[in-house]
Amino acid sequence: MSPRERVNAALRGEMADRVPFTCYAGLLPRGETERRLRKDGLALVHRRGVFTTECTHVEIERREYRQEGKLLVRQTFSTPVGQVSETYRTGGGYGTSLRCEFLIKRPEDYAVVEFMVRDEVYTPVYDEYLRDVDIMGEDGVVDGNLGYTPLQQMLVVLMGPERFAIDLHERSELFFGLYEAIAERHREQYELAADSPADVFIYGDNITSEMVGLERFERYCIPRYNELASHLHPKGKLVGVHMDGKMKHLAEAVARSDVDIIEAFAPFPDGDFPLAEARQAWRHKVIWINYPSPVHLFPPEQIEAHTRQMLRDVTPGDRFLVGITENIPDFAWPTSLPIISRVLKEEGGLPL
């Protein structure tokens, strides 16, 4: 099987020739070791949207400045109903940034952000998606990307955990008014996803039980996953969610949902849910793990032993993929990834 065929078979619940090994395309530095890994079957994974988003009545001013040696970017959004701004620090690994100031800081910011949400215009870019698929060829897969669900967008992007917690209880009318506005617009996105050529969509929710909590997860996240699935499943498309945090407390809710793929799942020692238990809880779902980050720093013999144990934990091995979804220190990945690849190639033949 080609890397693309192997990944797609696992995502569809079919028995591939061996357990797939994948890596986000942007996390694998090019070079000799990378070539060997791909020759041995490592599949690249690229996520991209199938539509663009534009706000036609919002002006954006971007200003860069330095503070205590750090490069900061401040974006100000001007609308007919007011202004909001956000600040983030750039220069993180792999081009990442960190929000230091969120758009919603005061009650009056809700009206501005809601205007921005309702002002969004979505335009399909299906041809661009197909171009990326053609470029990828048999070397991997291109999955559709849908960003965050409304609740997680509010938590992670718009207000941050402190404001989220306060406003959820003290300004619930404003809080849930914005939630419903975002959910309404997302329903338009679901239709665009369903009509697109992409077969798999990932909601990049970064779910962890410590932040979202079971009650809110069941009440506000699961319905969005199920609603997306109601659009995609009739057309043979799959729904995945990026659940890379502590998941044990949420496991039963996930099991009852219409989610097909738990993507970037963090097994022990990263998360709080051992892989064997997750496999038992989610027998009819695909588990696409992020190989535990701490293990990349272990001695080679321990990396090898950990990988073997993972294979034992998921016997007979269907509906399971080993992925790299987080950056690895430059001194570690040239050792760890070839070991993981070798064990999966030599001992990951299916059925296990």
Please report, for the domain that includes residue 40, its CATH number: 3.20.20.210
Look at 54 and 92; give whichever has higher pLDDT.
54
Quick: pLDDT tens for 147-165. 999 999 999 999 999 999 9
Any domain includes 110: no
Q: Would 91 be classed as within a structural domain?
A: no
Asked if residue 62 belongs to a domain, the reply is no
Measure the CA dihedral 151/268/97/7, to 10°: -80
Write down the pLDDT at residue 93: 66
Residue 7 within a domain: yes
Residue 107 lies in a domain: no
Q: What are phi and psi of 45, to 5 degrees?
A: -125, 125
Residue/partner pairs of 291-296 with CB below 8 Å, 24 or more apart: 291/322, 291/323, 291/324, 291/340, 292/266, 292/267, 292/268, 293/326, 293/328, 294/269, 294/270, 295/269, 295/336, 296/328, 296/329, 296/332, 296/333, 296/336
| Count: domains in the chain | 1
Which residues sit opposite 59 in a β-bridge? 78
The tokens 């338009």 sit on which residue?
A: 188
Where in the sequence is the domain holding 171, given as residue range(s)? 3-50+125-347
| Digit-coded pLDDT (tens) for 252-305 | 999 999 999 999 999 989 999 999 999 999 999 999 999 999 999 999 999 999
Q: How many Cβ atoms sit within 10 Å of the Cβ of residue 51? A: 20
Whether 15 maps to a domain, the answer reads: yes
Place of tokens 């890994």: 37
**What region does 319 belong to: left with phi over 0, alpha with psi -120 to 50, or beta?**
left
Predicted pLDDT of residue 70: 86
> Measuring CA to CA, which residue among 147, 251, 154 is closest to residue 205?
147
User: What are 73-86's pLDDT values in tens digits?
Assistant: 999 999 999 999 99
Q: Is residue 300 part of a domain?
A: yes
Q: Is residue 244 part of a domain?
A: yes
Distances 185 to 119, 248, 277, 320, 345 between C-alpha atoms, Å = 10, 31, 36, 33, 44
Q: Counting every residue, how long is the chain? A: 352
pTM: 0.96
Q: Rounded CA gap, 24 and 94, in Å?
A: 12
What are the strands, taking DSSP E only, across the chain?
Answer: 21-24, 43-48, 51-55, 59-67, 70-79, 82-89, 98-101, 120-124, 140-145, 200-203, 238-242, 261-265, 286-290, 320-324
Q: What is the pLDDT of residues 161-204, one digit of tens each?
A: 999 999 999 999 999 999 999 999 999 999 999 999 999 999 99
How much is the pLDDT for 94? 63
How far is residue 98's CA from residue 61's CA, in Å, rounded to a whole number? 19
